[in-house]
Structure 1
Amino acid sequence: MSGIGSAQLVLLTAFLGVLVCCAIEDCRSRNISHWAILSIAALYIPYAAAGFASWQSGLIAGAIFLVAGFVFFGLKVMGGGDSKMIAAVGLWVGTGQIDVFVFYTAIAGAAVAVTILAALRLGLPTQSASAVPETARTVPYGIAIAFGSVVAVGQTVLEKAN
């Protein structure tokens, strides 16, 4: 059992922290800042350079998610921040966990959407509902992306630690 070293733990903790910031920011304002997206991508550089992940796998997954993000953004299914966030976390997810990421992101996205729709239908005052104009109420998909990322990357880390 090789375990998780301190350098890997620091980078994973920073990655998790940025994901939480993205989820909170998206929930509050339906916006994910550029610094957060760049931080996710930048943290991957030392992570992969230290050999904790495969550069090739990360770049391929990131490219796949970048193209998917462009398509979803063009179809107005997703916002620009969500699309960029998916591409950045694709680096971390890698090709081996794309299915896990997509599955858990979709499940979490559905849960967030149902929660928001129920709150709106019941007329409950919510931070996420009141932060967005009536005509532009959308799902803060950054929450779901963060959840899917944690599950997929966490699974990879646990598999390699054993």
Structure 2
Amino acid sequence: MDTLITILIIIGAIVFFSYLTRKDNKNYSSKRVRSEGDDFMNEVERETKELREWNRQWSLVNSPVVKFNNKGIEYEKSGMIDKAILEYEKCMVHMYKHIGGPFMKSFARHSPNRLRILYKKQKHPKEKEFLREYISKCKEYSIECPDIFKRQLDKIKSHN
């Protein structure tokens, strides 16, 4: 039964296409079919160019995030915690600069999580400021902020 339906669809398509390309058909001459095909191809080319440009711009915004995080991970594995912190801080500056734009709707989670952990372990003087700023940016851009950031900030405030 499925084979019969497939054959009928193919025959129907052949008959329809031959009707469209018949010389005596004034509405659908072969020139018109060719013209519509050219229009379609032009539209596809235009959309492809737009997508490539969008991808290029997206990469300009998001590729540095990956690079900063990868460097930070390498430094952490090598025991160079201060250098790792610097890479994660660079990543945060980059994300703060681009958040809310068309190519960055949310924060990557790795850098803020690692900074939160490393600042806490080292009792880093920037810990409280970082937590406040991150929570504030999340609110500003309606991004869900993990509760652990708020709890850690509350804990710091209660000890002061």
TM-score class, shorter-chain normalisation, is: 0.3 to 0.5
Under a length normalisation based on structure 1, what TM-score does the superposition of the two structures give? 0.34
User: Which structure has the larger Rg?
Assistant: 2
Higher relative contact order (CA 8 A, sep 6+): 1
